[in-house]
Amino acid sequence: MPHVLDRIRVGSAPDSWGVWFPDDPRQVPWDRFLDEVAEAGYEWIELGPYGYLPTDPARLREEVDRRGLRVSAGTVFTALHRGPGVWADTWAHVGRVAALTRAMGARHLVVIPSFWRDDRTAEILEPPELTTEQWGHLARGMERLGREVKETYGLDIVVHPHADTHIDTEAHVARFLDATDPALVGLCLDTGHYAYCGGDSVRLIETYGERLGYLHLKQVDPAVLADVVARGLPFGPAVQRGVMCEPPHGVPELGPVLEAAQKLGVDLFAIVEQDMYPCEPDRPLPIAERTRRFLRSCGA
């Protein structure tokens, strides 16, 4: 029998329904997502890209309540390594998302760093390695963001290492965590992105467990990933090739990840995010139902 993972709260997200953008004709409508995520057996959801779900708090509250759903987090995108000059635009974006997140009763804001290459065209937007000065801007900027989000909205930020960003590999994640104040900056460990970039999720949890504030659950297909690496493909085309696959058919094994998280002795969200943009509209629900059954078999 699997261990009972009573500190882990499982959910899913628009990402698992092929949603990457606030509005895109290739994505399922938001009401269908809400209907199907509830039907699949999930109680918790994320907001997804701001503007995909209704942004009026009263309307969104009504929509999620009548489906028995609750919101765990919102998501923001930042480029704080560029220095104080980007703060005003960053805070304007963060404020919109944070206000809705707080209004929905959630406590977390997932922070994703900006991409260094375009996730569709592969155009190189910036060097993949930051300078020492840029690392300083990134660390101080995230600490400021953590402080001001907490003071203004009562939310905790959790920074999400992500493929094709400057916080991706084990070395970059460790450098970022070592450079930031644990009281201000938490970690959202995405098991799929970390494996995509060569990282070991269980080792990260065991090494930096006190920083872990949130989990995204996904798996990578090793054969597809090897081809992606060999071809130097950006993340968008890699997803279209199926690099993020349905559990339990990829890596890392999610059972040991969840057990390592359980051992931390804190309550954690574990939100399923199987990148599938773009996908056929009838594809996500059966996968979501099977994934929920699989996670129950792990004790979650």
- The token duo for 15 is 């990402």
The β-bridge relationship of strands 108-113 and 219-220 is: unpaired
Res 119: pLDDT: 79
Residue 111 backbone class (left: φ over 0; alpha: ψ -120 to 50; beta: rest): beta
Question: Is residue 137 helix, strand or coil?
Answer: helix
Average pLDDT over residues 229-240: 94
Res 4: pLDDT: 84
Q: What percent of the chain has pLDDT over 90?
A: 97
Q: How confident is the model at residue 2 (pLDDT cuts 50, 70, 90)?
A: low
Q: DSSP letters along 230-260, please? A: HHT--HHHHHHTT-EE-TTSSBS-HHHHHHH
Res 1: pLDDT: 44
Residues 6+ apart with CB under 8 A from 99: 153
Res 282: pLDDT: 98
Beta strand extents in the chain (DSSP E only): 8-12, 44-46, 70-78, 108-113, 156-159, 186-190, 212-217, 219-220, 244-245, 268-272
Res 121: pLDDT: 81
Q: Does position 177 have pLDDT exceeding 50, yes or no?
A: yes
What amino acid is encoded at 3 in this protein? H
Q: What is the pLDDT of residues 109-152, one digit of tens each?
A: 999 999 999 877 889 999 999 999 999 999 999 999 999 999 99
- The token duo for 106 is 């959630």
pTM equals: 0.97
- The token duo for 81 is 């390594």
Average pLDDT over residues 23-29: 96
Q: What is the pLDDT of residues 41-83, one digit of tens each?
A: 999 999 999 999 999 999 999 999 999 999 999 999 999 999 9
Q: CA angle, corner 110, sides to 107 and 115, nearest 5?
A: 170
Of 206, 181, 201, which is closest to residue 190 (Cα–Cα)?
Answer: 201
- The token duo for 25 is 């004709």
Beta bridge pairs of residue 238 = none
Res 52: pLDDT: 98
Q: Does position 16 have pLDDT exceeding 80, yes or no?
A: yes
Average pLDDT over residues 267-294: 97
Q: What is the pLDDT of residues 79-92, one digit of tens each?
A: 999 999 999 999 99
Beta strand extents in 25-107 (DSSP E only): 44-46, 70-78
Q: CB neighbours (10 Å) of residue 264?
A: 14
Question: Is residue 280 helix, strand or coil?
Answer: coil
- The token duo for 281 is 């509209």
